[in-house]
Structure 1
Amino acid sequence: MSPDISLTTLLLLCLAAAAAGWIDAVVGGGGLLQLPALLVGLPHLPPAHILGTNKAVAICGTTAAAVAYTRRDPMTLRSGLRIGLAALVGSLAGAFFASGINSAVLRPLIMAVLLAVLAFVLLRPTFGATAPSPGPVTRRRVLTAIAVAGLGIGFYDGLIGPGTGTFLVIALAAILHMDLVTASGTSKVINVCTNVGALVTFSLQGAVVWQIAAPMAVFNLAGGATGARMALKRGSGFVRGVLVVVVVSLVCKLAYDQWGW
């Protein structure tokens, strides 16, 4: 399937991919921008193809960010891979069920996720600015992280996707007592695994529009690499205000598209 789109639409999608890669690398949640942008820019494309194309783009920026983080802290790679293997399984399962989702269901689900993330960010003003209190990491906590951040969030990422990076950062910081930068870096390694699992499923189903995904992926990669470097130098607190504006804007846009207000 190769939909006809204007050069202007493709350029706007590429810019959205770059911004999504930057946001995702710094604080997670780049899909909150990229997936709705694909829904708006390609309104006649089946939902499964939207999701598959989104994964093909997102994996590039996430991989670039993961490489940048793991160069600074090898522990990020080791911790991420342990949880990432479970996340890959969850993502495969989620992507399998995603093929049956229609747009009438997909938009409200994304809006619910956006509102949940917005509520968390607004109710937790220190999110992204301070590290969680340190604590012992027991075997039970590790198993909990594998179940929640691996299987659970991995399944969600394969099924829908937006907000996965943010959810992973929150889960890792809360369960494993990671500081925010380490949690963000670890989440990128996990996210690579979930993207691989989902992308394999969508590719086998022929649900990836590679002609659109390829140019968007280049921009997403550049955004991811830039965002990771900025996060390592400056932290991620400054992204909080940008994320709030983006989420509010997207909720309003999707609500208008869904109900025609």
Structure 2
Amino acid sequence: MPEISLTVLVLLCLAAAVAGWIDAVVGGGGLLLLPAMLLGLPHVSAAHILGTNKAVAIVGTTGAAVTYARRAPVDVGTAVRIGVMALAGSMTGAFFAAGISSATLRPVIMVVLLGVAAFVLLRPAFGRERAGGPVGRRRTVLAIVLVGGGIGFYDGLFGPGTGTFLVLGLTAVLHLDLVTASATAKIVNVCTNAGALAMFAYQGTVLWQLAGLMAVFNLVGGTLGARMALSKGSEFVRGVLLVVVFSLVAKLAFDQWTA
């Protein structure tokens, strides 16, 4: 592990905790954790930053997924099937990523996110209540292909906001409330994170000691976030969702401006 001052270490652990909380509620914790690690560890390669981030995130995501699965009406089987498809989509997206310019994608994603924000604001009932009755086979297949495959492909190709897109996609396609969608998204995230972490570990680009320490804080944040989302309900998740969406738009705009 590289030499890290106590101040930087404390700040990274706090960032891991807050990122875990954000991830558990609505996704998007990487918006905080990755920049924090890049700033705090300027002499560490990007590959090691990404690998260490995955090792941290999978712990908090797993903790949140377990908390949700115990207390929310999650169809674990469907979530795992979507997760496996998302893993395949992510690997495919990563294969094509080298030929795609992120500068080209940023404006497109910003427009999509602003459209999502407008939709959520104009449709106050979106994600507040789960549709009655079991989810049909057609919608399940649609979720596996479009949400799992499509968003997984985006995750491998570009990445920012994947957790948020998963929550929105699951809410729209499966007609879930936002809390159940967040719970399902966590299980999908565990699958995709596991695949990515395996690749980073194989390449030797994980700082395991640092990841282990930060993962403890990420786990605490993720567990607290899941419990808060469960106790406060969909309206709370909706508010956090809008904050994360606008934050993501601001970050992408800043990246585009400074590119």
TM-score under structure 2 length normalisation: 0.81
Return the alpha-carbon distance in structure 1 between the equivalents of residues 52 and 89 of structure 2.
19
Instruction: Decide which of 116, 137, 140 is 1:120's aligned counterpart.
Output: 116
Return the alpha-carbon distance in structure 2 between the equivalents of residues 145 and 243 of structure 1.
20
1:164-203 deviation per Cα after TM superposition (whole angstroms, max 9, x unaligned): 2211111111111112221111111111000001111111
2:59 alignment partner in structure 1: 60
Return the alpha-carbon distance in structure 1 between the equivalents of residues 96 and 16 of structure 2.
25
Tell me, yes or no, if structure 1 residue 180 matches structure 2 residue 171. no
Return the alpha-carbon distance in structure 2 between the equivalents of residues 107 and 11 of structure 1.
33
Given that residues 129 and 235 in structure 1 are in contact (C-alpha distance below 8 angstroms), is that contact kept between their aligned partners in structure 2? Answer: no
Instruction: Decide which of 205, 208, 211 is 1:207's aligned counterpart.
Output: 205
The amino acid that maps onto 1:163 is G
Tell me, yes or no, if structure 1 residue 16 matches structure 2 residue 20. no
Return the alpha-carbon distance in structure 2 between the equivalents of residues 241 and 177 of structure 1.
19
Given that residues 91 and 195 in structure 1 are in contact (C-alpha distance below 8 angstroms), is that contact kept between their aligned partners in structure 2? Answer: no
Tell me, yes or no, if structure 1 residue 70 matches structure 2 residue 69. yes
Return the alpha-carbon distance in structure 2 between the equivalents of residues 154 and 18 of structure 1.
25
1:163 alignment partner in structure 2: 161
Given that residues 61 and 224 in structure 1 are in contact (C-alpha distance below 8 angstroms), is that contact kept between their aligned partners in structure 2? Answer: yes
The amino acid that maps onto 2:120 is R
Q: How does 1:215-234 map to 2 (within 5 A)?
A: 215-234=213-232
Return the alpha-carbon distance in structure 2 between the equivalents of residues 39 and 240 of structure 1.
29
- The number of aligned residues is 257
The amino acid that maps onto 1:68 is T
1:194 alignment partner in structure 2: 192
1:32 alignment partner in structure 2: 31
**1:253 CA displacement:** 7.0
Describe the shift of the 1:241–1:115 C-alpha distance in structure 2 as closer, same or farther (beyond 3 A).
farther
Describe the shift of the 1:83–1:182 C-alpha distance in structure 2 as closer, same or farther (beyond 3 A).
same
1:4 alignment partner in structure 2: 3
**1:111 CA displacement:** 8.7
Given that residues 76 and 185 in structure 1 are in contact (C-alpha distance below 8 angstroms), is that contact kept between their aligned partners in structure 2? Answer: no
Unaligned runs of 5+ in 1: none
Return the alpha-carbon distance in structure 2 between the equivalents of residues 44 and 113 of structure 1.
30
Given that residues 86 and 149 in structure 2 are in contact (C-alpha distance below 8 angstroms), is that contact kept between their aligned partners in structure 1? Answer: yes
Residue aligned with 2:231, SS: helix
Residue aligned with 2:75, SS: helix
TM-score under structure 1 length normalisation: 0.81
Unaligned runs of 5+ in 2: none
Return the alpha-carbon distance in structure 2 between the equivalents of residues 241 and 61 of structure 1.
21
